[in-house]
Amino acid sequence: MKNMKKLLLSLGLVLVLILTACGDDSDNADSNDDAGESTPETISEEMEYTITGIEPGAGMSGVIDDMIENEENLQGWTHQTSSTGAMLTELDQAIQNEEPIVIAAWSPHYMFAKYDIKYLEDPNELFGGEEDVLKLGRLGFEEDFPIAAEIVRNFYLEIDVIEAALLDSQEQEISVPEVVETWVVDNEDIVNEFTDGVAEGSGETIELVVTSWDSELFPAYVLKHALEGHGFTVNVTKVDPAIMFESIASGSADVTTAAWLPLTHGAFAERYEGEYIEMGPAYEKAKTGLAVPTYVELDSISDLVPNE
């Protein structure tokens, strides 16, 4: 009985929707809420001149703040920061309602596999193009832990591998460290490459700092596994990018795998120049930018218009 009621209700709803859609077609010839007639002006306005961002402490949040301050076409825009989770919820809701939204996006992340979204072109390279995600060590790390440092230097992952693992984590609803547990068993050959021919450690503890985005947790936990399989103990501490740099520079942490350079964490790298060593990329071809659902008729950041 209840189901029948539900069915009738949904049928009624569908009918109403069809009728509304037809009505729209015939009258309202000059309305511009038709997807086909949206202009950059109306889209920017519908977005309330707001970029839906992530954590205020993220490197890319600083990049977006600078952009709003300096770019003519973003004058009067708001950068709404909160958290990655909140941004994804807003994206999800906007897509369900087919409303325009512009978000802070990056790769690797599962958002591009889960949602039909596209990066806005970035003709002025405001986000700096492709980036390396670098391993950094504290001064003296290589001298104090030469074996561990050799494994850290050998450590490298292909970005596709990370992307696939993040998607697994999302689809199976398991945390990234848990995904790593099975990944290292299935990919022993990759893990062994990091330690092949390297002497064993003898129980030394390595302090690894990392930011808490999944794109960073995956490499960090794979490295932890490789080091722990080779005689070390690894403490992973999750911190903001600012603290990550500060703790490497002050020597309270030994190593990180999560420095996005040259741009995203460029301000931190500059502040602590000379107070850390670069140990090569953990992965390459990372990217940050602004993204919109594919139904939003904008192609480029320069299509956004000022709020005046």
- Select the residue interacting with ligand PBE from 49, 77, 106, 127 (CB under 6 A): 106
- C-alpha angle with apex 242: 236 to 248, nearest 5 degrees? 55
**Count of C-beta atoms within a 10 Å radius of residue 188:** 10
* Nearest of 53, 29, 49, 50 to residue 41 by alpha carbon: 49
* Nearest of 213, 126, 116 to residue 169 by alpha carbon: 213
Q: What does the alpha-carbon distance between residue 238 and residue 240 come to, in Å, rounded to a whole number?
A: 7
- Select the residue interacting with ligand PBE from 122, 264, 268, 290 (CB under 6 A): 264
Per CB under 6 A, 283 contacts ligand PBE: no
CB closer to ligand PBE, 141 vs 268: 268
Span of 115-123, 194-202, 207-215, 218-226 interacting with ligand PBE by CB under 6 A: 207-215
CA terminus-to-terminus distance, the chain: 55
| Preceding peptide of 108 cis, ω within 30° | yes
Contact call for residues 219 and 260 (beta carbons, < 8 A): no
- Select the residue interacting with ligand PBE from 169, 195, 215, 257 (CB under 6 A): 215
Q: What does the alpha-carbon distance between residue 260 and residue 281 come to, in Å, rounded to a whole number?
A: 10
Per CB under 6 A, 256 contacts ligand PBE: no
Task: Provide the mask over 222-241, with x wherever binding to ligand PBE is found by CB under 6 A and - wherever it is not.
Answer: -------------------x
- Select the residue interacting with ligand PBE from 141, 260, 268, 283 (CB under 6 A): 260
Span of 15-23, 56-64, 148-156, 165-173 interacting with ligand PBE by CB under 6 A: 56-64
Per CB under 6 A, 137 contacts ligand PBE: no
Binding site for ligand PBE (CB under 6 A): 54, 58-60, 106, 211, 213, 215-216, 241, 260, 264, 288
